[in-house]
Amino acid sequence: MIMNILDLQKSLLENLYFLSGPILAFLGFVIFKQIKLAKEQVIIAQQQLSESQKQIKINSQRQAATLAAELVKVFEDIISLGNMIGSKKKQLDYENPIPPVEDFTNCALTKIDKKILNSLKNKPEDIQ
């Protein structure tokens, strides 16, 4: 009776051992498939990242062009205002109070601003 139990256990263990080979082969195949799928997903993610980078670059160039166009409008207004001031100065025979700027430090520019403000105090309101 004990021999029958041991033989039965031995045969069960042998059967499990023989079944482990195909089971491990099947698991290896499944793992290989999963690795292959993961590799494909990484490639797709890299392509999407590349496309996103291109899209960001294009959008930034569009935004830069839009801002440049807006600044052109502002500079057109400044230029027309400068032309109007220039024609007014010619009408009133007004000399330019702005001395040549040689030093762009804050102190030097502040001195020039004070000189300009002092020279404008005695001029007509149109020039001010």
Whole-number Å distance between alpha carbons of 80 and 72: 12
pTM: 0.46
- pLDDT confidence bin for 113, thresholds 50/70/90: low
Q: Which of 121, 124, 120, 98 is nearest to 111 (CA)?
A: 98
What tokens does 126 get?
């149109």
Q: What is the pLDDT of residue 128?
A: 46
Query: Which comes out higher in pLDDT, residue 91 or 30?
Result: 30
Q: What is the pLDDT of residue 56?
A: 96
What tokens does 92 get?
């009133």
Query: Which comes out higher in pLDDT, residue 116 or 22?
Result: 22
Name, in order, each residue with C-beta under 8 angstroms of 92's C-beta and a sequence gap of 6 or more. Answer: 123, 124, 126, 127
Whole-number Å distance between alpha carbons of 73 and 32: 62
Q: What is the mean pLDDT of residues 106-114?
A: 65
Residue 81: is it exposed, middle or buried by C-beta count within 10 angstroms (0-12/13-18/19+)? exposed
Query: Which comes out higher in pLDDT, residue 121 or 126?
Result: 121
Share of the chain above pLDDT 70, in %: 66
pLDDT digit string (tens) for 14-73?
A: 888 889 999 999 999 999 999 999 999 999 999 999 999 999 999 999 999 999 999 898
